[in-house]
Copies of this chain bind each other. A is one copy, B any other.
Amino acid sequence: MEGKKNVLDPFGTSLITDYSRLFKEFGLKPITQEILKRIKNPSRYLRRGITFAHRDLDKFLNAFEKDEPIAVMSGIKPSNEFHLGSKMTADEIIYYQKEFKAKVFYCIADLESLVDNQIPLEEAKKIAIGNVADILALGLDPKNAFIYRQSQEKRVTNLAYLFSRKITLNHLRSLYGERHIGLYFAAFTQAGDILLPQLKDFDGPKHVLVPVGIDQDPHIKLTRDIVARVKDQFNFTLPSATYHKLQRSLKGESKMSKRDPMSFLVLNDSPEIAKKKILNAIDGGRKTAKEQRELGGEPEKCVIYELCLFHFIENDEELKKLYEDCKSGKILCGECKQRVAEIVAKFLEEHQKRREKFMDKAREILED
């Protein structure tokens, strides 16, 4: 259904099911074996084809290989606790920080949460402190990162104003569909975020990689269109991007729905709640245990398997074994869910201990 829409929707919660169209119609390129071979230790998302498409990742790799300046940029909209979708992006930038020694730029998109969700900036700040503690707990090294709120970073908003003169309403409509004017301006602001690392204050032009969910491509496209239009004033390098698939909700439906907290995990869920959510999630089981032992389960349909694939089983062999045990009917859903629930609960418990320790640091980083 959503696959038939003409535009990707960075502000919505739609699930994209037909990824192949994106290569044909949106000009994305697949992440090939050739590209993967150039990366020493590909991340879980790269290895497993979750990060499946890119723009100019090859150019980013060229720059890295030639020791040219690089950076990695992403952000979070502080409208919610840190959920697994935010964790994907976070894991990715942490990966590039560690493996590529890339400086990280991490934007708290509080002007977007203001215009999109009408969350007052002071409220967003409180949420953001938790979000930043989460990403530090996930392993981001604040010493090689620039973390900021849009509302406090006039270099970004000033760029947004500048860009707003370079792009027409019709151009915006072609990228985003008919939107509220505030959302168009949020888009210019995102472009400001993506290009901030290339300002003089940060040592000028460089190759910046932006790992995002595929729904965010309009922002990348807009930013690249802007780079071409401000050539007389800025010598920006076109930003590169990688795109990951979107995780389904625990109910197996759209990306997630904030109206139903049982449909997604957040990193601040108590281990008990998380277990409950997992036990209630959609699985790939058959009608009866007997049938499942005979036919095997359907991991492709199973959000529990997806949790392991995307997040909770790092070892590829171990994941493969789970997949095969499921397919062969060796392991049934009840047992599997219990096992995954334990893994997730343990992860959350340890994460939350680390998170707690980072709260003061997060407050310090986001101080006005």
Contacts and interface: CB of A to CB of B under 8 A. Distances in A.
Contacts of A154: 151-152, 154, 157
A37 to B, nearest CB: 44
B182 A164 contact: yes
Interface stretch (A83-91, A113-121, A357-365): A113-121
A35 interface: no
A169 B111 CA distance: 19
Interface in A212-229: none
Interface string A250-278: 00000000000000000000000000000
Given A181-B181, A182-B165, A185-B185, A111 B158 contact: yes
Contacts of A169: 180-181
A161 B181 contact: no
Interface string A224-256: 000000000100000000000000000000000
A39 interface: no
A interface bracket (residues with beta carbon within 8 Å of B): 20 to 34
Given A111-B158, A181-B172, A181-B181, A118 B165 contact: yes
Nearest to A153: B154
Contacts of A185: 161, 164, 181, 185
Contacts of A172: 181
A186 B118 CA distance: 20
Interface in A72-120: 111, 114-115, 118, 120
A36 interface: no
A233 B164 contact: no
A368 B180 CA distance: 33
A167 interface: yes
A310 interface: no
A45 B350 CA distance: 71
A181 B167 contact: yes
A181 B184 contact: yes
A162 interface: yes
Contacts of A165: 114-115, 118, 180, 182
A181 B168 contact: yes
A186 B169 CA distance: 15
Interface in A310-336: none
Given A168-B181, A172-B181, A185-B185, A162 B233 contact: no
B161 A182 contact: yes
5 contacts: A114-B162, A157-B157, A161-B185, A181-B185, A185-B185
Given A114-B161, A115-B164, 13 more contacts: A111-B158, A111-B161, A115-B165, A118-B165, A161-B182, A164-B180, A164-B181, A165-B180, A167-B181, A168-B180, A169-B180, A172-B181, A181-B185
Interface of A: 111, 114-115, 118, 120-121, 151-152, 154, 157-158, 161-162, 164-165, 167-169, 172, 180-182, 184-186, 189, 233
List the 10 shortest-distance A-B pairs measured between CB atoms, nearest first.
A164-B182, A165-B182, A115-B165, A111-B161, A157-B157, A151-B158, A169-B181, A114-B161, A164-B181, A164-B185
